[in-house]
Every structure is written in C-alpha cells, then in structure tokens.
Structure 1
Amino acid sequence: MSNLAIDMSDEMDKTGFNRIRTRALWKAVQCGSNLTGGVTIGPNAPQNGWGAFSSSMETGLGGSIDDIDITPITKPKSAKTKREMKTVRLIVDEPIIDEENLCRRRILAELNKLSIMEAQEAKYRHVKQMEEHDRKAAEEVAKLNAQQQAEGLARQQAKMMEMAKQQEELLRRQQELAAAQANREETRKQQLEMEKQSRERMKQSEFFNRVYETHRHFSNQYREILEMLKAEEEIKKAIPDELEVIKSCQEKFDSLIAKCKRDEIANEDVVCAEHLLKTVTALNVKAKKEVERLEEMRIREREEEEQKRIKRLEEENKKKLEEEKKLQEQKKLLRGGGAPPGSPDSVPNLLADSKQDVVGNCQRFQEYKALQKNLEKTEESLAQFSKDETLKKFRSDCQKAINVPVNAISAHSASHLSDKFRKLLNFLQKQTVVVSEKRITSATHPLGPLYSLNYLAVKTVKQGEQCVSSNPEAAYPIAAVVIALWTEMPEYGKLLLAHFYKSSPYLIPTYWERKKMETDEEYYKRLGFLYSGGEKEDMDKFLKRQSGIMRLYCAIIVTPHNRANKSKPHPLPLSEAWKWLTAFILLPPKADISATMLLEMLEVTGHLMMSTYGAQFRKLLHLICISYLPLVERVTLPGRGGPVTRLRGFLEGLISGKSIPPPKGLLSPNFW
C-alpha cells in the first residue's frame, strides 16, 4: 500500500472534518514528541519535525503516510454495522513492520480513530442540532400555521359574525321597513277613517246647524204665538184647532232636539224640522191676522171712547172756572208739606203757576237742610282722621270690613242675606269681625265707628250708581239689608239720606239754579254729574247713574221689614213716595232727567201705591198724563226723546187698562 487514503463525504467535509483531523494530528504530534523529538507540524517546520516523522514513518512502514487508507465511518444503520464501523482498518502494504513502526502505526490509527470518532460526534451533534433546528423550525412552522389557522379562523369567525350582524341589521331593517309599511298602512287607514268620521261630523254638524237655525226660527215663531195668546185671550177661541197643531209641533221638535243631543240626527229629521217651522210660521201668520183683526176692533172702540172722553172734557172745562179757587187752596196746602193722601183734594193743579219754586218752602226741603247739616258736622269731625297717614292702614281695614259683605249681598238665600247683615251690624257695633283671615274691629280708634258708618252710607249710594244701574234686580236685596241696618242704627239712615240727596238732588226734589261766580264744573257737580280729567260725563252715563240711585231709593221704600223687625215702623214709608211725586210734578220739568226719574219712581212704587191709595193714585196718574207729560215733551230736545217716549208708553199702558206689575226682583215679605 503506497498511499494512505481518507475517504470523506461531502456531507462530512461540510461538518469541518479537516479541521478536526488537523487538531487530532496535532495532539498526536504532542504525544509523539516523547518518542521522536523534533516532530512538528506546519509548512515552515524543519526536517526534523513532521517531515522527519513522516520520513521515519515512511521508512519504518516501508511507504509514505499517504499510503495509509483511512476509511471514514458513517453512522451505522444496524448494530452489526455499528460494530464494524467502530474498527479502523489500517491497511499496510508491507508485510513486515518493526515494533516502533507498529507502535507508530497504532498511534496513528488510534489518532485517526479518535479523529473519526470526534468527527462522527461532531456530525452527530450537527445532526442533532439540525434535527433540533428542524424540530424547532417545524414547531415554529406548526406554531405559525396554527397561529395563521387561528387568525384565519378568527377572521373567518369575525367575518361570519360581521355577516351575521349584517344579516341581523338587514333583517332589522326589513322588519323596520315592514313595520313602517304597516304603520303607513295603519296611518292611511286611520286617516281614511278620520276623514270618514270628519265627513260624518261635518254632515252631522251641518244637520245640527240646520236644525239649530230651524229651531231658533221655530222658537221665535212659537214665542210670538204664546205672547199673542197671553196678550189676547180671545185668540184661543178663534183658533182652537190650530192650538193643538202648535202643541203637537212643539212636542215633535222637542223629540228632534233630544235626538240631536244623542247624535242621532239624520237628513230626514232636518226635513221634518223645516216642515214643522213652515207649519208654525203659517200658524203665526194666521194668529197675527187674528190679532190685527182684534186690534182694529179695539181701535174702533177706543176711538169711540175717545170721542166720549172729549165730550166729557168739554163738560169738565165748563166747570173749571168754578173750581179754580178751590184748587188754589189745595196748592197752598201742598206747598206747606202736602195734603195727606187718601183725599181727592190732595191732587195738585199743575196748570196754575207751576214755574214757581215750591220746594224751597216745603217740609222735604227743610228735612234736606237738616240732613246736610248733620252730614257736614260728621265730615268735619272726620276731616283730621281721614288725612292722618298713620291711620291709613286702619282706614283700609275698615273699608275692607264693609266692602266685602256689601259687594256680596244678593238674594241667593235668606241665610246668605242674614250673614251679610250680621257681619255689617257687628262691625258697626264695635265687635270684632274676621276679614281675609284677619281680625278687625272699628273700636281700635275712637272715630272708627263714625268713619265706618259714614263710609257704609257712601258705599250704599255707590252700589246704586254702579251695581243697580246695570242690574236693577240687585236693588232689592241691598234695600233689605239697608232697612235692617237703618232700623238698628238710625244714625246710618240719616247719613244715607244725606248722601242720596248729595249725589242726586232730584230726590229732594229740586233743580239747582246756578249761583253767581260758580264755574261750570262746580255747578254740574251740584247737579250730580261726575268729572274725569276735567271732562264732564256724557248725558247717557249720567242718566244711567241717576236711574240706579233712584231705583235703589224706591226699592228701600217698597221693600218690607225682615221677620225680626216686622212690628217696627218702616224707616222710609210709602208716604215718602207720595210726597216726592206731588212735589216733583210741581217743578218745571227738565229735559231727559225729569222723565227718567219719574218713570223709575212709578215703575218701582206704582204697584204698591195703587194697591194702597187706589182711586187717589189714579187721579194723580191722570193729572200727570194730562198736565205734566205735555210739559216734559215740550222741553225735550230733538233726538233725545228716549226717556219721554218710555214714560209716555208706560202711562198709555195704564190708560188702556193695564195694571202696574210688582217690580221684578222684589223680595217677598217673609223672605228672611
């Protein structure tokens, strides 16, 4: 064997086998230095180094070191192979070697074996590392694949969830669209139903309006018929059959109204209502014709009676000269206070010297002066009290204690009226009353009772101006309380009359003449006019206020006592109305105010005076018609004939035979 061959595979070379072999040879040189000194390895080594070793090896072995065949040992695939691979064959061509060379060869073989083992170990480690690397790489790949799969799965799940959400959203939108469509359909149905109901309501409303309008005309026609039947009893005899028809029409219309209230009206009912209206209208026309026929008969009768009356007047005028002296004596008696009613001689003659001032000398004017003097004394006593600012709160409390019950007076019930009277009386008698949860007494100040008494008198007159002028029926419950207070506290009655005469001098009666150096405002205020901002109130408002004052004054005269004071004399008896009438018609009349005041007195007191004085009062009314009314018409200005027209209508009704009815709203004698 001439060469030592070492067969290495490319895979072993890749593991760094040459480097391992060099290191193993180096270790062998280290070990062989004890055997042969100067052994070195390297290109620059001397001949006594590796070269000498090599030469000695070659000499001892009979060849060169390159002739050594070193077969690499691969990883055995079986146990036998492994055992075979663990041996290193050293093939030497020389058949005979010496001991030293054999030792060297053994060492080299051992070295070669060691290097091969190290190479195999290195390869094994490398394989292990590669396997570990592959394992880790596989794990990384598996992990990466798992992660990718997880991510893919997550993405897929997210996508599926997103798709599920989209499907849910789509489903929700579809449901919303379906609900919206259903709502639209329902709304459309509701709108159609509402439109239908609206058309029905409009139709019903049209029916109601037509029935209402028809009923209004029907009621007017029916009321006219009833008024004619009440006024003319003879019509019932003239149209008995028609009365049954009218009654039947009213019953049918009442049934139609009941159906309207139940919302059951139909077009047939409207036609029926219009037919009923036509029927009642025709009956009304027939009744009017009958009334006109009766009226024509009465007119002819009145004309005949008027002719007879004219003849009687002519006969009476012949006797007038003979009776003139007697009438003059009667007039003198009236100027001295008026003759007592109940005698024909008490009726005055207005045709003789009626322009002379008769009031200044009469008893009523003297009473007026005494009342005004008492009022001036009272106001003088209260002058300082009314101006004291420290007592402003007390005065306000006193006013409130009076205003609250006075404003609440009404004919609601007897207990209500008694309660208001009791509150006023208690306060005026210095007792404590509760007003708006506050305890008030007029005795807080010495002048408190007198101030409250005078304030109540002023408030009573203002009730006539403000309340009674708008609501005439309110005069009678106020008058009832006034009479009860006047009976308990006569001083209140004196102050009340004084304020009545101050606000309306026509109650005295008198017409004030203008004084010298008196301004227009001062003069008209004395006549009872009010001024606001320097402007005098217009005549219509003035007449309305004065009529309210007069109606309240007359209501006091005709209102009876309450049951508690029934046995006591009336503070303002009916004789005061007679005295006022006889004195008033002696005065020269004034435009508007004379007719207004006279009519109020007759309307309120006429019924009671007629029942009390009888024929005497009828003579007085006759005298007013014949003598006083023409004088009033003579002074009435053009375009201002309202008051005198109402007065003439009232008097003509009495002449035609109508009786004077009791005033509307008058309380019964036993009301409270």
Structure 2
Amino acid sequence: MTSPNKSIKERTLDSPNLSKNLVNGNSSIEKMLIESEEIRKVQVREEVQARIWRMTEKLAQLYQEEQTKEELRARERAAESQRQETALLAMLLHEENLAATRHQQLTLEHEQSTKRMNEMLKEMEKKQKEAEEEEKKKLDENKRLLSQIYEYQMNFRAKYQQISEAVKTCKDKQALIPVISQQAGKLRSLCEEFDQLVKKSKSGELQAEDEDKAFKAYTQMGSVLEIILQEVGKINSEVEAAVAAQANSVESQPQSSVEIVGAEVSKQEEGKGDVKKLRDCVDAELLKKYLSLKHYVRTFEKLYEPLYNDPQWKQFRVDCQKAVSTPVNAISPVSAAHMMDKLTRLRLLLTGKPVDIGDSRVISSAHPNGIAYCKNLLAKKLVKQGGQVVSSKPDAAFAIAAVIVALWTEFPDFGHLLLAHFYKDCPYLVPFHIPQRQGQSDKDYYNASLLFDFLEVAGNSMSTHYGSQFQKLLHITCKEYYPRLKEVTPVGSGGPVT
C-alpha cells in the first residue's frame, strides 16, 4: 500500500511500467545521439578530405608557380653570369695590357736605376779610396807625432831625473832651495804641459803644433837642468872649499873643537842620566830604542822644514797628501793584483817618479825634500790606518802589513819612521812599571790602579744602574781619595793620577 506522504514523482518512479518506458526512451535517445555523432564524423571527414584536396591543388598550383619563377630566376642568373664573365674577361684583358705597359716601364726604370747605382758605387769607391788614403796619411802622421813626442817625453823625464840626482848630490841643500824655488814654477808648468800632451796622445787628438810644444818643453827642461847643475856645482865647490879651510884651521882652533865635543858629551851624559832615572821602571833597551827613534823622527822632520813652511809649495804638499792617502785608503785583501797596484803607486811616489792621482800627476822629487816629506807622511798614514781600519776590519791587517813589509825592505828609513810613529801613538810598546816601595803594602800598591781600571771599564754601567749613589761615590773619590793619592805619588809618575 502506498504511503500518502510520498510525492507524485516517487510514486511515478515506483511504478514498474513507467520505469520500463523510461528505459526504452533513454535507449532511443542514446541511439539517436550515436547516429548523429556518426553522421557528424562522416561530415567532418568529408570536409577534411575536401579541404585536403583543396590544399593539395593549391600547393600544386603554388609549386607550379614557384617552378616557373625559379626557371625565370635561373635564366636571369645565367644571363647575369654571362654578363659578369664578359666584363671580367674585358677587365682581365685590360689588366694584362696595363701589366705589360707597367712591365715595360719598370724594365726601363730598372735599367736607369742600375745605371745610376753603378755610377754611385764607382763614385763611392773613389771617395772611400781617397778617404782611406787620407786616413792612412793621418795615421802615419799621428804615429810619427806619437813617436816623436814619446822620444821628447823620455828625454824630458831623463833630464828631470838628472835634476833630481843633481839635487841629491848637492852638499848644501839649504843653499840650493832659492834656486829650486825659483825654478819650481817653471818645472811645474812644464810637467803640466807634458801631461796635457800625454792626455791628447791617449785620446788621439795630437796636432802638428803639439810636436813644437813638446820640443819647446824639452828644450826648456834642458835649460833648467843646466841652471841647476851649474848651481849645484857652484855650491859643492863652495862647500868643499869651506871644508878644506876648516880642516886647515883645526890646529889653530883646538879650543872650539873641545867645546863642541864637550857639548856632545854633556848631551850624552844628560841622556844617560834620564835613562838612569827610569832604569828601575822601564826596560833599558826598549827605552834606548824609543829615545833613538824619537830623535830620528825629529831630525828627519827637519829635513823638509823648508818645504813644510813655504806657502808657495802648499799645493804640492796637498798633492803629496792625496798621493799617499788615496792608495793607502784603498789597501784591502781583494786580490794580489789589487795590492800590487797600491804597492807600485807608493813605491813610485817614494822613488820620486810620476804617480797619476785622478786627473793630476804627482812627482815627489819636484822639491828636493819632497821624498822625505812623503816618507814621513806615509809612515803616519799607515799607523793611523792600522788603528782605524784594522780595529773594525781585522781582515785588512794582512794587506796593510804586506805593503809595509815590502816598502820597509826597499826603504829602511821609512821603516824607522814607521816604527817611531808606532811608539809615538802607542807608548805601551815601552812598558813603564813603577816598582813597589819598601814597606808599602800590596793594598796601597795596587788599590789606586785597580780602582782606576775598574771605573774605566764599569763606570758607565754603574752610573746607569746606581744613578745618584754612584755620583756620591765619585764625589768622595775625587774630593777625599784623589788628594791623598796625589800626595803619596812621586813627581813624574803617571798611573791613575794622570
């Protein structure tokens, strides 16, 4: 039985017949839809096929048109290619004609250029030959000038050496100094003139007038030599005459001789007295040697006092100082050749031969006492060099010592001067020992010396560390201890008091 609350739709659906009819109706609709879809597909397929045919025809038409256009373009390209080929052939023909013409022109120009070149080569060969002949003439002339000037130079040096030897043979060099001073300026100018000629010869700048200059300098040197030889001969004759007169008057003046001998004896006794006073404090042999060398230096220095005090020879002294200082400062153990070069320069200087220092030339024998001045100057310089250089560069000691030994062997007087300056700069080479007095305690004997050495070595460190306390100690030492020490120190003694 049907519920009254059901709707009409539900009741309709619940009806069996109605449901069946609905099912059949739905099937018909589906069938119709399927048939309609099939018809639509057929229509679409036909339309697509028709469109494909239309497109195929269109493509065929387009292809035909394109084929026609391509044939047309091919004909145009062939025609253009033909035109270009024709133009290219014409251009090539024109270029061949131009090339032939240019070749003819180049051939003609080459022939003309070759002709001009041959003419130029012949002209150049001619000029070169003339230049070579001219150069050969100049070289021959230069060789002749060099040979002639060298000969003049050798003769010039020989005469200069004769002047040096003549000065050495003079028996009264003091009397010869005015003449030497008078001729010194001329000698210097002649040497400088020859130096300029030598420089010009080294640089190849000699001229014909230089030969005349060399001959003139050589002739003037001969005149100077003649003047000095005459003066030396005159002085030697006067000295010999004075010696002969003195020998003849010896018997008539015995008293004066006795006085001279007495003065010498008194000097020797005085020297012996000084040695005797110091005999207990110093080695007698060392002291004797020291005094002897000291006297030797004083005597040697008197030899060149005229040179040292003459203002006209100031530049000469400066040049000698350079000639000594330059090689000595350069002594070092670089090589054997280096040391030999410095030794050779010093040897030439001490023998009075020319020595080149920079742009100038120094000849120590230009003054009669120049060699003595250089020897003493060299001895001082080497002692000073040993103190300044060897202390900082110990390796330099061997080089300096080797040069000293070589010079000492050749110049014994230089060795004596060197030793004397060593003693002068370092008195400790003659030890001075004050003996302990009888009854003096070891404390009193050593205390002052030890205190002095202690303060000398450690004074700076103590002052830094202790400051004002150390200053107080020094004040007491100076005000209290030193006066007492001075009272008991013998007169003439040194030690800590000095």
What TM-score bracket applies, with the shorter chain setting the length? 0.3 to 0.5
Larger proportion of helix: 2
Larger radius of gyration between Structure 1 and Structure 2 = 1
